[in-house]
Amino acid sequence: MFGSEKSKSPSRRWKGSSESRLEELDRISQLPDPLICNILSHLPTKDAVKTSVCSARWRSLWLWVPCLELSSQSFSDFKAFMSFGDRFFDSNRVSCINKVKLDIYEDGADLKSWIDATIKRKIQHLHVRCTPCTDYEMPSSLYNCETLVSLKLHEVRVSLVDFRFVSLPCVKTMHLKYIRYGNEANLEASFKRLVSCCPVLEELKIFAYEWMSRRAQVYRVVSRSLKKLRIKLEEDFETLGLGFVIDAPLLSCLSIKDSLSENFIINNMDSIAKVDLYGIFGLDDFGEASVVTSRGSRIRGFLLGISKVRDMTICRCTFKLICQYSRFQPLPQFGYMSHLFVTLRVSDLKSLPTFLESCPKLKSLILVWDGNSKKMHSDGDDLHNPIIHFASVPECLLSSLEFVDIKTCISGHAPEMKVVEYFLKNSAILMKITLRLNYYDCANEKSFFKILMAIPRRSATCEVVVL
């Protein structure tokens, strides 16, 4: 039926339609043009173009589809791509365009005039992706587009400083990935301008290579409407001075992969409800000496700043760092945190209770541990100093934890079961714990389930789900 696997047999039919040729109606061709275009707009451009061969009626329908998704790699040679683009974006055409996504792998296309055409034709979603080898610059008309709602640029050149009037009144989503801003001198000004001229901006993603600027540059994100911010800085080596200043009073969702350099300043973090810390702080190790450094105080400041979050996602490096930090400085209480997704190394599992101590109201925990589960009970293990050992039972297990989801596939080894046991035995109001069993690796399924069922559960209503 609908949605079932596609069969190559040409005689496949919809259920319910008759076999006889005479009774068949070509219902789809009976639809008015705009509706057929609507159907084609849900297809990749290639499939839409192929329909031109179906019948004379369909010859040019694809041209009127208000969406285009094109990669220069789909064409046997770049010239064919260029002429196709020239035809689609011909300046004489006035029909509305809604979405355009272009992947351009070579230099030479007249991208500026193509984008000019889309802006004239009231584009709403523009996504341009180029490569480090190309050098395409965005046309000035882009910065005054009244209809643009979503702008995603990847590896292109943006230069705003020369333009007096920049206004993007409808842009809600903006992704700026590895953008070159005119020349280096213009980075700060161009970037700030671009962001602050979007009065209804809600989502912003900034990806950059730290080495893209040879001197200190500061990305200033100033937006009264911004809700979601994602920053990813590829670090090749430690650079001085590249920083962020974020002034967004409505910011509720923050995701950072950055080394939290000296210049990483977030004004007013109270509104942040959801945070995703991936590889921040940049340090490999946090020793006692680091506490008194400026870095140490920056970490402390940051942790205090996000202490009101409700939802946190944390990667293994950050987790390790925070655990080391917590040995020398107390962690702030994340009193509002109800949801935590933590990825950690097997060797850090024993620090989990310490971290959970600072999440007194935690309701839902997603746990992933990295590393060979066999490592969990390897040579370093002995009765006096086992690798998996939980020293304490934090408050949240006793009073608030309701859901535990262990995303790592387990095979039933004793150390893994220790983790499961820890939660089952100690969580007083646990409602559901979800496990994933690696059926190939599990030595004895039956005994696994036997052991699992035999673990005493502190919570009477606990449901154990094994996927």
Partner 1 sequence: AFVENIPEIYILSLLFFSPHFLYLLISVSVLTMDPIPGLSKLTVSSSKKIVLNCSDGKSFEIDEAVARKSKLIADMIESGCDGPIPLQNVTGKTLEKVIEYCKRHVVEFGPSDEDDEEAAEKLAIWDAEFIKVDEETIFHLILAANYLNIEGLLSLTCKTVADYIKDKTPEEVRQIFGIENDYTPEEEEAVRKENVWAFDPNQ
Interface with partner 1 by CB under 8 A: which residues? Answer: 1-3, 6, 8, 10-17, 24-31, 35, 38-44, 46-47, 49-56, 58-59, 73-76, 80-81, 84
Closest to partner 1 by CB, 19 vs 162, is 19
Query: Please, what is the minimum distance in Å from the beta carbon of residue 238 to partner 1?
Result: 37
Cross-strand pairs, 174: 151, 204
Q: Which of 178, 174, 172, 133 is nearest to 154 (CA)?
A: 178
- Please tell me the distance from the alpha carbon of residue 467 to that of residue 464, in angstroms, as a whole number: 10
- Please tell me the distance from the alpha carbon of residue 323 to that of residue 41, in angstroms, as a whole number: 50
Query: Please, what is the minimum distance in Å from the beta carbon of residue 32 to partner 1?
Result: 8
Closest to partner 1 by CB, 17 vs 461, is 17
Q: What angle do CA 328, 332, 337 make, to 5 degrees?
A: 135
Query: Please, what is the minimum distance in Å from the beta carbon of residue 267 to partner 1?
Result: 24
Largest CA distance in the chain: 86
Location of structure tokens 């923050």: 254
Closest to partner 1 by CB, 23 vs 162, is 23
Residue type, 228: K
Closest to partner 1 by CB, 30 vs 385, is 30
- Please tell me the distance from the alpha carbon of residue 361 to that of residue 183, in angstroms, as a whole number: 49
Query: Please, what is the minimum distance in Å from the beta carbon of residue 57 to partner 1?
Result: 8
Phi/psi for 176 (5° steps) reads -120, 100
Query: Please, what is the minimum distance in Å from the beta carbon of residue 291 to partner 1?
Result: 37
Query: Please, what is the minimum distance in Å from the beta carbon of residue 148 to partner 1?
Result: 20
Location of structure tokens 């994100």: 221
Strands 264-267 and 243-247 come out as parallel
Closest to partner 1 by CB, 39 vs 398, is 39
Closest to partner 1 by CB, 53 vs 453, is 53
Closest to partner 1 by CB, 50 vs 215, is 50
Residue type, 73: Q
Three-state DSSP at 452 gives: helix
- Please tell me the distance from the alpha carbon of residue 454 to that of residue 447, in angstroms, as a whole number: 10
Query: Please, what is the minimum distance in Å from the beta carbon of residue 135 to partner 1?
Result: 24
Closest to partner 1 by CB, 17 vs 167, is 17
Query: Please, what is the minimum distance in Å from the beta carbon of residue 137 to partner 1?
Result: 26
Tell me which DSSP letter residue 137 carries: B
Whether the CB-CB separation of 313 and 276 falls below 8 Å is answered with yes
Closest to partner 1 by CB, 187 vs 340, is 340
Closest to partner 1 by CB, 10 vs 456, is 10
Query: Please, what is the minimum distance in Å from the beta carbon of residue 28 to partner 1?
Result: 4
Closest to partner 1 by CB, 16 vs 456, is 16
Three-state DSSP at 112 gives: helix
Three-state DSSP at 450 gives: helix
- Please tell me the distance from the alpha carbon of residue 130 to that of residue 339, in angstroms, as a whole number: 37
Three-state DSSP at 129 gives: strand
- DSSP string covering 388-442: S------HHHHHT--EEEEEEEE---HHHHHHHHHHHHH-TT--EEEEEE-TTT-
Query: Please, what is the minimum distance in Å from the beta carbon of residue 34 to partner 1?
Result: 8
Closest to partner 1 by CB, 55 vs 268, is 55
Query: Please, what is the minimum distance in Å from the beta carbon of residue 3 to partner 1?
Result: 7
- Please tell me the distance from the alpha carbon of residue 152 to that of residue 411, in angstroms, as a whole number: 43
Query: Please, what is the minimum distance in Å from the beta carbon of residue 363 to partner 1?
Result: 15
Report the interhelical angle of 294-305 vs 316-328 (nearest 10°).
110
Alpha-carbon dihedral sign for residues 179, 180, 181, 185: positive
Q: Which of 429, 420, 431 is nearest to 454 (CA)?
A: 420
Q: Which of 379, 371, 458, 378 is nearest to 420 (CA)?
A: 458
